[in-house]
Amino acid sequence: MLPRSLNREFAFSLNDVARMLRTYADHKASQFGITRAQWVVLVRLDRFEGLKQSELAEMLDLQPITLTRLLDRLCESGLIERRSDPNDRRAKRLYLTAQARPLLERLGDLGDELMTTALAGVDREAVERMVAQLGIVKENLRHAIQNKTAPNAVGEQRYG
C-alpha cells in the first residue's frame, strides 16, 4: 500500500466530490425531465448563445456525436433551435427558445439549492478561499496542458 500523500488525498477528494455533485445534479435535474448533461448545454447556451455545435462540443469537452444526440433531444423538447450560419452554410448555430427561459430560471434556483446543500456547514469565507485556490489549480493545469511535452518524454512511463 502506498503511503498517504496530501496531494493524492486532495486529488481523490476533489474527484469524489465532483462525482457526487454530478450524481446529485442528475437526480435533481430529473425533476424537470432533463439530464444534467442537457442542463449544462442549456446553461452554456444561455451564456454563449449563437455558438456553433463544434464550438459547444469543444467547450463542454464532448464528442460531436454525443453533443448531437443531446441537441436533438433538446430540439425535440422545444428548448433550443438550430439556425443556419449566415457565413458558413455547413454550420449551424444554437439558440435557446422562449420556452427554455422559464426552465433556466427554475434550474438556476435548483442549482442554488443544490450548492446550499453541498456547502452546508462551510462558512462563506472558506468557500471564497476554496474558489480562489481552485482557480489557481485550474490555471496551473491549463498552463501544464498548454505546455505539455511529447508522449513518452524523458522520465515518463507508460503502463498497459
Q: What CATH number did the domain enclosing 107 receive?
A: 1.10.10.10
Is 35 part of any domain?
yes
Which of 47, 41, 111 is CA-nearest to residue 81? 41
Is 8 part of any domain?
no
Measured CA to CA in angstroms, residue 78 lies from 104, 107, 136 at distances of 13, 16, 39
Q: What is the pLDDT of residue 116?
A: 96
Q: What is the pLDDT of residue 88?
A: 87
Q: What is the pLDDT of residue 3?
A: 73
Question: Three-class SS of residue 7?
Answer: helix
Q: What is the pLDDT of residue 154?
A: 52
What is the span of the domain harbouring residue 83? Answer: 14-146
Q: What is the pLDDT of residue 4?
A: 79
Is 2 part of any domain?
no
**pLDDT band (50, 70, 90) for residue 103:** very high
Is 33 part of any domain?
yes
Q: What is the pLDDT of residue 73?
A: 95
**In the predicted model, what is the mean pLDDT of the chain?**
90
Residue 78 contacts residue 97 (beta carbons within 8 Å): yes
Q: What is the pLDDT of residue 157?
A: 55
Share of the chain above pLDDT 90, in %: 80
Which of 49, 23, 27 is CA-nearest to residue 104? 49
Query: Which residue shows C-alpha cell 443556419?
Result: 84
pLDDT digit string (tens) for 116-158? 999 999 999 999 999 999 999 999 999 999 998 545 555 555 5
String of DSSP letters for 81-147: EEEEETTEEEEEEEEE-TTHHHHHHHHHHHHHHHHHHHTTT--HHHHHHHHHHHHHHHHHHHHHHHT
Query: Rounded to the nearest 10 degrees, what angle do helices 36-47 and 53-60 cross at?
Result: 120
- State the total domains in the chain: 1
Residue 41 contacts residue 61 (beta carbons within 8 Å): no
Residue 63, exposed/middle/buried by CB under 10 A (0-12, 13-18, 19+)?
exposed
